[in-house]
Structure 1
């Protein structure tokens, strides 16, 4: 019991300290030190790519073994990673091994988990992050083995939310502000329906225009907003007041 209370105190201390950090490196260092108390030495903090997109544009911070991180990125495993698939539909933290029983986990997904094990990541704990602006992310912690009490899970949940929020805030703060932009009425319509989760094909039916035209409008508004993908365009839309 004493160990549990100490780790909960550590989580609260992390929350207080991380909000004062002004550099991403300092946030990462403190996070890495803190999670060792829970048996973790590896982590990944990233946005959740849309189906078909790569992880490159969503990566925020990584403390994964370099050999595994490079292989994961080179093979573009994010599309079939069972952990990422669970992230898209879950609001509750979960351990990696539970995803092996998900109906969406296929043969490649099982292979990815086995390869992670070969790189010292036999299991892990993942915390889904759902931002008020529609941005979806995850904080994933890896270890050879995972055995967490409910109190430990709660503490890691809190720590993960705050480390993600602080890193994302610093990333946004350090960005060069784009000049003010104006979107056409049709671009605004496409952005609105994209924020509602509609595909290009669905938007084309709603607006009675071709799918090619929808993609053109989305590309145009994306360039204006400085967004590299639709998720970022939606986030920028909220940030700039185009979406409410």
Structure 2
């Protein structure tokens, strides 16, 4: 299928999606159409984030990959976040190609990417209407994308995220379970600009424990990162 026909067909399917799950299903077809094996939507990491799992909105990655990535604490060693934060355009790279945007992957990350066949990636930084930052990425073992392919995939991704974001803001959600007293305390300190390490020092807890409380709060309030968590907690009058 030529580029114009493929883009039109995929955009039509995305536009016809009437639910969050429908958009994700369409994105999985986009991944296959472009020769990728996986599609992932995740919140853009903040400097304090040390775990990948809490950032994931939807993914077809192996659970074992995510678990091992977090077990080895590879988040802060991963160069992808800074690359995407400095770009408004889709980017693509392959760990086997000479041109990798000067990405300095450490040996542990490289080994994990190869084990789970995440050799070639295309990723797009995205911004929701309510100001949250996301990353949409496609992974697999295909050859690096040509610029024309990357441009086409970027346009499809923007359209898909626009539909997803509209549905996300209007799709009914179940009432979130209440936060515990400790979770509220951690969220309150976070709203005051404290890092996990600083909150840990204040509460005599490890930063790992603080991050666990934040992860639970993010999940309970159906948020994607700390920024949205604080904003929603204030809006719900959980914290002042």
TM-score class, shorter: 0.5 to 0.7
* Alpha-carbon shift at residue 65 of structure 1 (Å): 3.4
Which structure 2 residues correspond to residues 60-99 of structure 1 after superposition, within 5 A?
60-97=57-94, 98-99=99-100
Unaligned runs of 5+ in 2: 177-189, 196-201, 203-213
Match of 1:232 in 2: 228
Which structure 2 residues correspond to residues 100-179 of structure 1 after superposition, within 5 A?
101-102=102-103, 105=104, 107=106, 110-172=107-169, 173-176=171-174
Out of 73-82 and 113-122, give the one that drifted further. 73-82
Unaligned runs of 5+ in 1: 179-189, 202-211, 213-218
* Alpha-carbon shift at residue 76 of structure 1 (Å): 4.1
**In the alignment, structure 1 residue 23 sits paired with structure 2 residue 24:** no
When residues 75 and 44 of structure 1 are mapped into structure 2, their CA distance, relative to the original with a 3 A threshold, is: farther
TM-score under structure 1 normalisation? 0.65
* Alpha-carbon shift at residue 10 of structure 1 (Å): 1.9
Of the three residues 17, 33, 39, the one matched with 2:29 is 33
Cα deviation, 1:199-221, whole Å, max 9, x if unaligned, reads 559xxxxxxxxxx8xxxxxx9xx
SS at match of 2:118: coil
* Alpha-carbon shift at residue 72 of structure 1 (Å): 2.4
* Alpha-carbon shift at residue 145 of structure 1 (Å): 3.0
Out of 138-147 and 78-87, give the one that drifted further. 78-87
Aligned-pair RMSD on alpha carbons? 3.7
* Alpha-carbon shift at residue 96 of structure 1 (Å): 3.0
Match of 2:208 in 1: none
When residues 229 and 67 of structure 1 are mapped into structure 2, their CA distance, relative to the original with a 3 A threshold, is: closer
Equivalenced residue count is 200
When residues 132 and 25 of structure 1 are mapped into structure 2, their CA distance, relative to the original with a 3 A threshold, is: closer
CA distance in 2, matches of 1:74, 1:159: 34
Partners of 2:42 and 2:135 within 8 A in 1? yes
SS at match of 2:89: coil
Higher helix share: 1
CA distance in 1, matches of 2:58, 2:152: 20
* Alpha-carbon shift at residue 40 of structure 1 (Å): 0.8
Cα deviation, 1:80-104, whole Å, max 9, x if unaligned, reads 22222312222121123455614xx
